[in-house]
Structure 1
Amino acid sequence: MKKIAVFLFTSLALQNIGAQNLIQAYKTRADMVSQANITSILTDFENLGVKTTGSTANTNTLNWLKNKYLSYGYSASQIEEDPFSIGNINSKNLIITKTGTVYPDKYVIICGHYDTIYGPGVSDNGSGTSILLEAARILQNIPTEYSIKFIHFSGEEQGLKGSYHYADNVAYQGSLKKLDIKLVFNIDQVGGQLGNNNNTIICEKDISGMSGNNAASATITQELATCTGLYSPLQTSISNAYSSDYIPFENKGYTITGFYEYIRSENEHSTDDTFANIDPVYVFNVGKAAVGALQHFAVASTTNNVLGTQETVGQKLSESVNIYPNPAKNQVTVEFPQKTKPFNIEISDMTGNIVLRTENQNIIDTTPLSNGIYMVSVKTDRNHLTKKMIISK
Structure 2
Amino acid sequence: MKKITTLLLLSLSSYSLQAQSFIQAYKNRADQVSQTNVTNILQDFQNLGVKTTGSAANTNTLNWLKAKYQAMGYTASQITEDPFTFGSNVSSKNLIVTKTGTVYPNIYVIICGHYDTITGPGVSDNGSGTAILLEAARILKDIPTEYSVKFIHFSGEEQGLQGSAHYADNVVFQNNVRQLNIRLVFNIDQVGGKIGNSNTAIKCESDQAGMTSNNAASQAFTQQLANCTTLYSPLQTVMSNAYSSDYVPFEQNGDIITGFYENVRSYNEHTVNDTFANVDPTYVYNVGKAAVGALQHFATASTTQLATEEVQKNHLESVKVYPNPAKDYLNIELPKDVKNFRLEISDMNGRLILNRENETKVNVSGLSSGAYLITVKSDGKTAVRKVIISK
Q: Deviations over 1:164-223 (max 9, x none)?
A: 000000000121011000000000000001111100000000001110000000000000
- Give the letter for the 1:148 counterpart: V
Is 1:76 paired with 2:70? no
- Give the letter for the 2:290 counterpart: A
SS in 1 for 2:214: helix
Runs of at least 4 residues off by over 4 Å:
none
Partners in 2 of 1:243 and 1:197 — Cα distance?
24
Partners in 1 of 2:254 and 2:181 — Cα distance?
11
SS in 1 for 2:32: coil
Offset of residue 18 of structure 1: 8.5
- Give the letter for the 1:74 counterpart: Y
Partners in 2 of 1:170 and 1:55 — Cα distance?
24
Offset of residue 19 of structure 1: 3.6
Partners in 2 of 1:174 and 1:272 — Cα distance?
42
1:248 is matched with which residue?
249
Identity rate, percent: 72
Q: Deviations over 1:320-376 (max 9, x none)?
A: 99xxxxxxxxxxxxxxxxxxxxxxxxxxxxxxxxxxxxxxxxxxxxxxxxxxxxxxx
Query: Unpaired segments of 5 or more residues in structure 1?
Result: 1-16, 307-318, 322-393
Q: Deviations over 1:58-86 (max 9, x none)?
A: 00000000000011110011000000001
Is 1:51 paired with 2:51? yes
SS in 1 for 2:302: coil
Q: Deviations over 1:86-138 (max 9, x none)?
A: 12111000000000000000000000000000000000000000000000000
Query: Unpaired segments of 5 or more residues in structure 2?
Result: 1-16, 311-391
What is the TM-score of this pair, normalised by structure 2?
A: 0.74
Q: Deviations over 1:150-176 (max 9, x none)?
A: 000000000000000000000001210
- Give the letter for the 2:70 counterpart: L
CA separation of 1:199 and 1:178: change in aligned 2, threshold 3 A: same
Partners in 1 of 2:183 and 2:107 — Cα distance?
6
What is the TM-score of this pair, normalised by structure 1?
A: 0.73
1:281 is matched with which residue?
282
Is 1:85 paired with 2:81? no
Partners in 1 of 2:284 and 2:206 — Cα distance?
21
Offset of residue 21 of structure 1: 1.1
Partners in 2 of 1:283 and 1:238 — Cα distance?
18
Q: CA RMSD in A?
A: 1.3
1:115 is matched with which residue?
116
SS in 2 for 1:212: coil
1:132 is matched with which residue?
133
**Counterparts of residues 196-275 of structure 1 (less than 5 Å):** 196-275=197-276
SS in 2 for 1:27: helix
2:369 is matched with which residue?
none
1:349 is matched with which residue?
none
Partners in 2 of 1:278 and 1:42 — Cα distance?
9
Partners in 1 of 2:117 and 2:157 — Cα distance?
8
Number of paired residues?
A: 293
SS in 2 for 1:76: coil
Q: Deviations over 1:242-282 (max 9, x none)?
A: 10000000000000000000001000000100010011000
2:101 is matched with which residue?
100
Partners in 1 of 2:309 and 2:217 — Cα distance?
42
1:290 is matched with which residue?
291
1:193 is matched with which residue?
194
